[in-house]
């Protein structure tokens, strides 16, 4: 597979955290992060019934399939703490909506609240950008709920608002905003991550 196999990063808690490519057996850990992060990040944004209806078991089945039979055109990395616990993940690949201006997409990035604010998000994005560059992509976008505080994270990395759309989620219609990068080489240098 292209790109880096893993990066070691030092967390603010002085515990080594490794960012590596996801492997078979990681599905349950990814699902735990996915569900917990949705519940903390989207509380007050997404209807409570949607958040209450999330199932670690259902997400684990999905992510276990993704890790057991990976699609060669998509990329999935996990962040693992010194106890072997998955504390974050990122996924991405080709842009999914036939947008002529952007070749690749950051599909999802989630980090447990306990590990946010320590540079781990940048390390996960760096791993994904590395894969995208090796795959020949030079541009990338991400869709984020307009009210999601993570929108500022993407903006801090140079993502510019390039579109918006409305989606249905439970009983609500929510706005999603696309942030884009027109130069992945520039984003990689901005991340300045050495693995």
- The per-residue pLDDT for 15 is 53
- The per-residue pLDDT for 16 is 82
Mean pLDDT per 10-residue run, the chain (195 residues)?
41 67 97 97 94 95 93 95 96 92 97 93 96 96 94 95 95 96 95 60
| Rounded Cα distance, 111 and 132, in Å | 21
Q: Where are the alpha helices (DSSP H) in 43-119?
A: 48-52, 56-68
Structure tokens at 2: 């292209």
3-state SS assignment for residue 42: coil
Strands (E) across 42-170 are located at: 75-80, 86-94, 104-111, 140-145, 160-169
Helix (H) or strand (E) holding 174: strand 172-181
All structural domains of the chain, each given as residue ranges with its CATH number in brackets, are 6-191 (3.40.630.30)
Structure tokens at 64: 């276990």
Helix (H) or strand (E) holding 21: strand 16-21
């Amino acid at each position: 597979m292209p790109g880096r196999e893993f990066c070691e990063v030092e967390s603010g808690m002085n515990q080594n955290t490794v960012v590596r490519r996801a492997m078979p057996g990681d599905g349950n850990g990814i699902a735990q992060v996915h569900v917990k992060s949705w519940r903390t990040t989207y509380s007050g944004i997404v209807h409570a019934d949607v958040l209450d209806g999330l199932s670690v078991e259902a997400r684990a089945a999905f992510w276990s399939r993704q890790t057991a039979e990976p699609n060669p055109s998509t990329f999935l990395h996990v962040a693992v703490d010194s106890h072997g616990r998955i504390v974050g993940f990122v996924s991405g690949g080709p842009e999914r909506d036939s947008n002529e201006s952007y070749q690749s997409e950051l599909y999802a990035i989630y980090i447990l609240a306990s590990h946010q604010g320590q540079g781990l998000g940048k390390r996960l994005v760096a791993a994904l950008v590395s894969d995208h560059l090796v795959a020949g992509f030079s541009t990338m976008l991400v869709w984020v709920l307009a009210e999601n505080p993570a929108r500022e994270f993407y903006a801090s990395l140079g993502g510019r608002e390039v579109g918006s759309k409305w989606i249905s989620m439970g009983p609500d219609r929510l706005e999603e905003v696309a942030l884009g990068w027109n130069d992945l080489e520039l984003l990689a240098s901005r991340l300045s991550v050495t693995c």
